[in-house]
Homo-oligomer: A and B are copies of this chain.
């Protein structure tokens, strides 16, 4: 523990954000409300977060000089994506507090480290094995009953970098099709629902989990998050407790998304953690309107070393991502009194691109 690790920001200080997409933009908007400045670092000149931030740096994430200049101008650093290169994080962490810390990044960037960390922390995960060759894959599949998902250890997202194996022929050349990179094999989980928990943990160790969201994906991209999830209240409490336990085990500071599967056997509901995202999370966008303190504000508070706010929820809600031309419906959405529109200011509408989201609110069902 050194003084930099403990550093707290003051109003008027500057948060540096790596990544200039919609998540960085929403962090910056939340920071602005609290009187903090943001400085966004992103290689893409057309970054949506630039438009709502005091300062920007357009440079590559491995541009050491630009990183050092950036660190010199900010009071703490955070990031909106988990694939921040380790060296980038190390350079910045030597100069300024980086929150969440580099450990959260290194654990979550590698599926093997992530799963191993979770299992060691007593968190329920699917069985998994490290796979470094086609032979290892074939051997492991024997132990997994011939079924499983083989995933690259790094840089997978939105269903990319993984192959589902339901029969022996699915496994053929799988290691080569994934590019001869380190992978893991995970047991197939027959789940009833996908759920997630957004948890915030402050510099003082306080952890606050939001209510559980139930997520629906389309083409491997999140389509909707509905809160509350249609699960038992004891299961929901357990999901939140698991998320808080993970944050504690990592000594985490900031907001984290924890993706889980709900597995049912008869009346029994069981939770399996799928993955963690060391950042604000798409499945937490509902907090912007259904709670007084959004995940973005919680993240800003944590990164600043400030007290967390309440995670209390005041509405039932369904968040719907506006993907590609979904966003063309903005005018109708604005006309609906129960709908809260969020647009990201992206210049170009492309298929599969997240352009915004809408939170549809309902009174809390007693």
Contacts and interface: CB of A to CB of B under 8 A. Distances in A.
Nearest to A54: B51
Interface string A229-250: 0000000000000000000000
Contacts of A292: 289, 340, 361
Contacts of A28: 52
In the A-B complex, the 6 residue pairs with the closest CB atoms: A35-B343, A51-B54, A310-B337, A32-B52, A35-B345, A307-B335
Interface string A331-366: 100110100111111110000000010000100000
Interface in A265-320: 289, 292, 301, 306-307, 309-310, 312, 314
17 contacts: A11-B330, A25-B32, A29-B33, A29-B52, A32-B345, A35-B342, A35-B344, A35-B356, A36-B345, A37-B51, A50-B54, A51-B53, A51-B54, A52-B52, A306-B331, A307-B335, A314-B314
Instruction: Give the secondary structure class of A's interface.
Output: mixed
Contacts of A335: 307
A343 B37 contact: no
B54 A334 contact: no
Contacts of A54: 50-52
A167 interface: no
Interface string A1-24: 000000000011000000000000
A355 to B, nearest CB: 8
A331 B334 CA distance: 35
Contact of A343 (B29, B34, B50, B346): B34
Contacts of A327: 11
Contacts of A341: 34
A135 to B, nearest CB: 51
A204 to B, nearest CB: 11
Residue of A33, A310, A314 with most partner-chain B CB within 10 A: A33
Residue of A28, A327, A334, A335 with most partner-chain B CB within 10 A: A334
Contacts of A310: 337
Interface residues of A, number: 41
Contacts of A307: 331, 334-335
Interface in A150-201: none
Interface in A32-81: 32-37, 50-54
A11 B328 CA distance: 10
Contacts of A306: 331, 334
Nearest to A328: B11
Interface in A199-219: none
A344 B11 CA distance: 9
Residue of A37, A309, A361 with most partner-chain B CB within 10 A: A309
Interface string A136-147: 000000000000
